[in-house]
Amino acid sequence: MQKMDIQIQDEFWNRYTELVRNTVIPYQWEALNDRIENAEPSYAIQNFKIAAGHMEGEFGGWIFQDSDLYKWLEAVAYSLRRHPDPELEHIADEAIDLIGQAQHENGYVNTYFTIQEPGREWSNMYEAHELYCAGHMIEAAVAYYQATGKRKLLDIACRFVDLINRTFGTQPDQIRAYCGHQEIELALVKLHELTGEARYLNLSRYFIDERGTKPSYFVEEWERRGRTSIWNQGTPNLEVYQSHLPVREQTVAVGHSVRAVYMYTAMADLARLTGDAKLRVACERLWANTTGKQMYITGGIGATHLGEAFTFDYDLPNDTVYAETCASIGLIFWARRMLRLDMKSEYADVMERALFNNVLGSMSKDGQHFFYVNPLEVWPDASLHNPDRRHVKPVRQKWFGCSCCPPNVARLLSSLNEYIYDVSHDGKTVFTHLYIGSEATFELACGKVRLRQRAALPWEGRVEFQVSLPEGGNNAEFELALRIPAWFQKGQPLLNVNGEAQSYDVDKGYAKVNRIWTEGDLAEWLLPMETTLIAAHPAIRADAGRAAIQRGPLVYCLEEADNGKPLTSLSLSNEPNLSDYLDAELLGGCVVVEGDGLVTDDTAWPEGQLYRPLSKETTAVRFKAIPYFLWGNRQAGEMSVWMRQ
Amino acid sequence: MQKMDIQIQDEFWNRYTELVRNTVIPYQWEALNDRIENAEPSYAIQNFKIAAGHMEGEFGGWIFQDSDLYKWLEAVAYSLRRHPDPELEHIADEAIDLIGQAQHENGYVNTYFTIQEPGREWSNMYEAHELYCAGHMIEAAVAYYQATGKRKLLDIACRFVDLINRTFGTQPDQIRAYCGHQEIELALVKLHELTGEARYLNLSRYFIDERGTKPSYFVEEWERRGRTSIWNQGTPNLEVYQSHLPVREQTVAVGHSVRAVYMYTAMADLARLTGDAKLRVACERLWANTTGKQMYITGGIGATHLGEAFTFDYDLPNDTVYAETCASIGLIFWARRMLRLDMKSEYADVMERALFNNVLGSMSKDGQHFFYVNPLEVWPDASLHNPDRRHVKPVRQKWFGCSCCPPNVARLLSSLNEYIYDVSHDGKTVFTHLYIGSEATFELACGKVRLRQRAALPWEGRVEFQVSLPEGGNNAEFELALRIPAWFQKGQPLLNVNGEAQSYDVDKGYAKVNRIWTEGDLAEWLLPMETTLIAAHPAIRADAGRAAIQRGPLVYCLEEADNGKPLTSLSLSNEPNLSDYLDAELLGGCVVVEGDGLVTDDTAWPEGQLYRPLSKETTAVRFKAIPYFLWGNRQAGEMSVWMRQ
């Protein structure tokens, strides 16, 4: 992969980058230190202080609580890379010192086992998340080194990895196991790519290759533990942990959705780095299943809260949905890796869908409240009074006891610059996956090239690229490859270079124009947005007879605040005459969609009668839809993505 | 209440009565003895054998397992009343002997505590079901005495009740408690009505009056038990057990739905027998809430499997539904008692709705398979692969570990003769609640009167009553009151007496005709049935934009066997041209409804695409609906009551 340096400069995204820097990161630091009033405590820093011997006490929070600190450090690293901040860096350095103090002589770091069950390390690979936490430490260490050049966390991580490398494997004196929650696999690839050390790649491959082999390590371990378990009863459920089959034999996405997509991410990395064709085919098959049969229109995945899991093909209920924030973030990780494996626009389409809808929607406008579950339909009373819907929150929460999602959002948004471009192996093509205003510098075969991208997304589909050649030459031959978004449905988009229409080839969903570029050349890429009604595949029972509104990459939704309740009384007119306009005041400014609808007339229902002969009396109304990612930023109320036709 | 003697003679119902007698009762005896292959064992008889000292072993099954034997005995009693059967009576007598042998010196009977926790009796009123089991013993004892004249079980029950009467109450040496599962309250009323003993009525009233008072007995007991619990964690959930408020202050149906309706049944009994106006008002308020805001169109109640409970007003999901068979049976019990309190047709309407749909549908045509949960929408794959739907079975089961429902169906169907008529207090009016062919003899103010009812329900709305006067007189003046069913929507039904139109008054939903009847008089009551599309209240989100088919008392449904899948692809045409016809072959003979529908054309969906711009292409089809109560008697497949408009 060629070198790229990309900095986001975008009216829409700067708001998020700054929100993460100015609000999310400081807020989460307060949360990690248990200083947020009326929020569930995190215990993360306290656990490290106890493990480091600075204070006495019990371990608090979930067994994987350490990972919240690591994910925060990773987000801090990305933020420092763009915005140096000595004060923040100092806080981070102190947290890293604390981690070092909690590290054992042999390299081991995990505050739960240090505090609560010393001597029982690696005894519950099925549930104890030790390698999962190690993986997040590695990711943070790599990012922090890249941002600051400081090796301390990287050294801590490498010492830990060396211990893990000695401990796990196929040799007789090693534990032939893998982690119940995949994560270290993808982290080890990052460590390999930073250091060039083959052993990290081999360790990742070992974990992937070993997973799902028979006899099952998890079952044998459970027998040895006396058939006890932290959360689960009975024999380990191997599907939940994607350990029911060797990964190359897995054909459909099953089990805990975050574990699944973290694993698929590592598989795609390994397929690329090792040229393993079977692994690649498995990735493609799992991708087709996940995004072609088990994905919500918002890019959410995971249809049930029980096990936070995938269910089965076309089962995408909108009300009992899970669609965890972390799962969509993991889907974006995976999509990014699939692009590196094969530059096909469908991977970037899914990345964009999940980012603009499920992930952005998980955070409140103030950056201090988060959804863990991202429903497509909310009835606040049902969330309160029907236990089947209790996991669906009608308003974002301050912090969660299991708070994996908020720091995951922070690290994704602060590293979004890595998701925009790729350069082909031969250094001759620049691929643009996402239309996000940015300043990018590439080391291409032709030399150094800068691209200033200006984009008006998600509100308008105008994108400009201005070429500059910082090394002074006047000409540079390279190919610009621009993703044709799946949401653009009107033939081929128009590309102008210096005001003149430019023809292009289309390859795997990318418009490719190869030419000799000159300093100051301006490419305009025109993707006019249409508000479109979308239908779901007929096998998705939950969406039958319904339509969703999409405009560009944004899925829309109806809120009670604009349309009253029950929202289910509202249906689309046969000719809905959709219109859209920018409302600069609403929710910080957004494009609103309006349309003609019909409301069931319920004035004639006698009190206390539930059923009566059908009458089709309806009243015409003009409904109003807002972008899904902005829902729930006013008072609690009903929300729905899918409307009855 | 005047004396009545009613025997069912009805083509439709005889099939069920005989099924109960010839199949259900013998089959359930085998089940109680753990002799059904591949079915979950009951342990009920074995528990009694162990408790009686005939064999050694552990207690098996649920803590309330004894009640299954009592409910079976009750069903046997009803069956013997109509069909003497010395062999069956002998088996029942032996079972009763066994119960007697398991009874303690002091009168106590409960095999769980006798076997498993002797000395811990009455220590967990919240969960241990001792009084619940006692209640079912009492009901069985009353029925068995009425059927056979044999006192043995009645004596066992009375000795037990005397112990309970000494043990519970407001005196200092008594336990001031009530049972976590209401049932004994309604049973004590039956014992009172049989024996005339006031103390049984008073004990029932004590349990009802004490319930929900503060401080909560359940919370105090839980504290004393060391905050332990069998099923629940944390502080007792008082709403689940309807003990959150004194019963007279309860306004909405909450908590476990079977507990609720059993309690409301006792409350209605007590309101009638004691003239307690506040209790009556509470019954009416709870009735209005239950049937006016929380009842499925099938007469099912209980919207969630978590706690088998009511959720809240208008929350009636069709897919994650509970609608337990026992809850609908309890609703019928309650409706019956409300009728005794006040002869209003709406009570009988609900009784009929629950009976013909939810309850009849719970049993297979062969009488050997049962639903515990009665869904309004089934997608078999979702039942298998989505844990949120795992409680919804697409096919009826042989027997359940917690098998409260099958014996409850048996005792209801074998005592259905008690649900048809009432005689007014003054002995001058005969109320007909249900149209079921039968031979009835009444002791009226005017003397003995026989009514031979012939009914063609549920297929045709023709009912005849032939009067005879067995005491030989030629004339008898009495009032015949005929329920006008809520499903009859075309003005007032026609009543002919001896071929001539007879005018009548309407009072609380009953057509009343007072006249001097002569031997052989024939009243014809004409309720022609129309197939009707029914809408649900707009606040029921789950049914928005949908319609159900009803014909007479029967709710219809679509099955995959007739209409393919996914059923959600099918919608009603604007002019559905509904037609109906008797199919003598289908499912033992039933009236089928057909109509014009539209099927979404999905042939153009590319493989692997989940969402695309809406097109409204549809194909016209003729759909076929069958009575809901007959669903699931062919292969497993999709089923749906509500159709998209």
Min distance B214 CA to chain A CA atoms (Å): 24
Burial class (CB in 10 A: 0-12, 13-18, 19+), A425: exposed
Q: Do the domains spanning B4-419 and B421-526 agree at the CATH topology level?
A: no
Q: Which of A112-121, B153-162, B397-406, B543-552 has the lowest mean pLDDT?
A: B397-406
Q: What is the pLDDT of residues A8-47, one digit of tens each?
A: 999 999 999 999 999 999 999 999 999 988 888 899 999 9
Dihedral in degrees, nearest 10, Cα atoms B154, B160, B162, B168: -140
Q: What is the mean pLDDT of residues B575-593?
A: 96
Min distance B424 CA to chain A CA atoms (Å): 27
Position A405 scores a pLDDT of: 80
* Residue in B529, B570, B542, B560 with CA at minimum distance from that of residue B626: B560
Position A603 scores a pLDDT of: 74
Q: Which of A390-404, A410-424, B60-74, B175-189 has the lowest mean pLDDT?
A: A390-404
Q: What is the mean pLDDT of residues A613-623?
A: 92
- Asked if A322 and A305 count as a contact pair (C-beta separation under 8 A), the reply is yes
Min distance A388 CA to chain B CA atoms (Å): 7
User: Which of helix, strand or coil describes residue A17?
Assistant: helix
Min distance B612 CA to chain A CA atoms (Å): 5
Confidence check: pLDDT of A240 > 70: yes
Q: What is the mean pLDDT of residues B116-124?
A: 95
Position B207 scores a pLDDT of: 98
Q: Which of A388, A532, A547 sits opposite B388 (nearest CB)?
A: A388
Structure tokens that stand for A204 in this block: 């990742």
Q: Which of A88-92, A595-599, B64-68, B363-367 has the lowest mean pLDDT?
A: B363-367
Average pLDDT, chain B: 95
Position B329 scores a pLDDT of: 97
Question: Does the beta-carbon distance from A613 to B489 stay under 8 Å?
Answer: yes
Q: Which of B309, B381, B539 sits opposite A566 (nearest CB)?
A: B539
Question: Does the beta-carbon distance from A613 to B311 stay under 8 Å?
Answer: no
Question: Does the beta-carbon distance from B613 to A532 stay under 8 Å?
Answer: yes
Q: What is the mean pLDDT of residues A510-528?
A: 97
Give, rounded to a whole angstrom, the gap between the first and last alpha carbons of chain B: 48
Confidence check: pLDDT of A566 > 70: yes
Chains A–B, number of C-beta pairs less than 8 Å apart: 169
Burial class (CB in 10 A: 0-12, 13-18, 19+), A23: middle
- Asked if A354 and A332 count as a contact pair (C-beta separation under 8 A), the reply is yes
Choose the mutation target among B345, B352, B388 for the interface with A, i.e. most A CBs under 10 Å. Answer: B388
Using a CB-CB cut-off of 8 Å, the residues of chain A touching B291 are 610
Question: Does the beta-carbon distance from A544 to B568 stay under 8 Å?
Answer: yes
Those residues whose C-beta lies under 8 Å from the C-beta of residue B325, and which sit 6 or more positions away, are B358, B359, B362, B370, B371, B372, B374, B405, B408, B409
Q: Can you tell me which residue has the tokens 């270079």?
A: A497
Structure tokens that stand for A416 in this block: 């979004």
Q: Which of B293, B600, B614 sits opposite A533 (nearest CB)?
A: B614
Position B600 scores a pLDDT of: 87
Position B326 scores a pLDDT of: 96
Confidence check: pLDDT of A401 > 70: no
Question: Does the beta-carbon distance from A387 to B307 stay under 8 Å?
Answer: yes
Choose the mutation target among B610, B612, B618 for the interface with A, i.e. most A CBs under 10 Å. Answer: B610
Confidence of residue A1 (pLDDT cuts 50, 70, 90): very low
Question: Does the beta-carbon distance from B533 to A613 stay under 8 Å?
Answer: yes
DSSP state of B605: P
Position B401 scores a pLDDT of: 62
How far apart CA B422 and CA B645 sit, in angstroms, is: 41
Question: Does the beta-carbon distance from B544 to A568 stay under 8 Å?
Answer: yes
Position A2 scores a pLDDT of: 45
Q: Which residues of A are catalytic?
A: 308, 404
User: Which of helix, strand or coil describes residue A36?
Assistant: coil
Using a CB-CB cut-off of 8 Å, the residues of chain A touching B540 are 610
Q: Can you tell me which residue has the tokens 């030399």?
A: A447
Question: Does the beta-carbon distance from A600 to B533 stay under 8 Å?
Answer: no
Choose the mutation target among B609, B614, B640, B644 for the interface with A, i.e. most A CBs under 10 Å. Answer: B614
Q: What is the pLDDT of residues A290-349, one digit of tens each?
A: 999 999 999 999 999 999 999 999 999 999 999 999 999 999 999 999 999 999 999 999
Confidence of residue B349 (pLDDT cuts 50, 70, 90): very high
Q: What is the pLDDT of residues B256-277, one digit of tens each?
A: 999 999 999 999 999 999 999 9
Structure tokens that stand for A288 in this block: 């087709």
Would residue A230 be called left, alpha or beta, if left means φ above 0 and alpha means ψ between -120 and 50 degrees?
alpha
Confidence check: pLDDT of B536 > 60: yes
- Nearest-CA residue of chain B relative to A572? B545
Those residues whose C-beta lies under 8 Å from the C-beta of residue B302, and which sit 6 or more positions away, are B256, B257, B258, B308, B309, B310, B322, B323, B324, B327
Using a CB-CB cut-off of 8 Å, the residues of chain A touching B602 are 537-539
Domain ranges of chain B: 4-419, 421-526, 534-644
Phi/psi of residue B545, nearest 5 degrees = 70, 20
Position A274 scores a pLDDT of: 97
- Nearest-CA residue of chain A relative to B312? A385
Confidence check: pLDDT of A601 > 80: no
Q: Domain spanning A421-526: which superfamily?
A: Golgi alpha-mannosidase II (2.60.40.1180)
Look up B404 and say whether it is catalytic. yes
Question: Does the beta-carbon distance from A538 to B605 stay under 8 Å?
Answer: yes
Using a CB-CB cut-off of 8 Å, the residues of chain B touching A302 are none
Position B187 scores a pLDDT of: 98
Structure tokens that stand for A600 in this block: 């069931």
How far apart CA B468 and CA A470 sit, in angstroms, is: 111
Long-range contacts of B98-103 (CB under 8 A, 24+ apart): B98/B45, B98/B48, B98/B49, B98/B52, B98/B54, B99/B48, B99/B69, B99/B137, B99/B153, B99/B156, B100/B152, B100/B156, B101/B48, B101/B52, B101/B53, B101/B54, B102/B48, B102/B51, B102/B52, B103/B156, B103/B159, B103/B160
CA atoms within 13 A on the CB side of A479: 22
Position A474 scores a pLDDT of: 79
Please tell me which residue in B74, B127, B308, B560 is annotated as part of the active site.
B308
Min distance B540 CA to chain A CA atoms (Å): 8
DSSP state of B248: G
Confidence of residue A400 (pLDDT cuts 50, 70, 90): low
- Nearest-CA residue of chain A relative to B645? A545
- Asked if B386 and A304 count as a contact pair (C-beta separation under 8 A), the reply is yes
Distances, alpha carbon B114 to alpha carbons B63, B69, B154, in Å: 11, 16, 21
Q: Which of B489, B548, B566 sits opposite A538 (nearest CB)?
A: B566
Those residues whose C-beta lies under 8 Å from the C-beta of residue B207, and which sit 6 or more positions away, are B131, B168, B178, B179, B182, B184, B185, B188
Confidence check: pLDDT of B2 > 70: no
Average pLDDT, chain A: 95
Position A136 scores a pLDDT of: 98
Min distance A312 CA to chain B CA atoms (Å): 6
Choose the mutation target among B386, B571, B615, B643 for the interface with A, i.e. most A CBs under 10 Å. Answer: B386
Q: Is the dihedral of CA B232, B233, B237, B240 positive or negative?
A: negative
Using a CB-CB cut-off of 8 Å, the residues of chain A touching B304 are 386-388
Q: Which of B535, B568, B613 sits opposite A489 (nearest CB)?
A: B613
CATH T-level topology, domain B4-419: Glycosyltransferase (1.50.10)
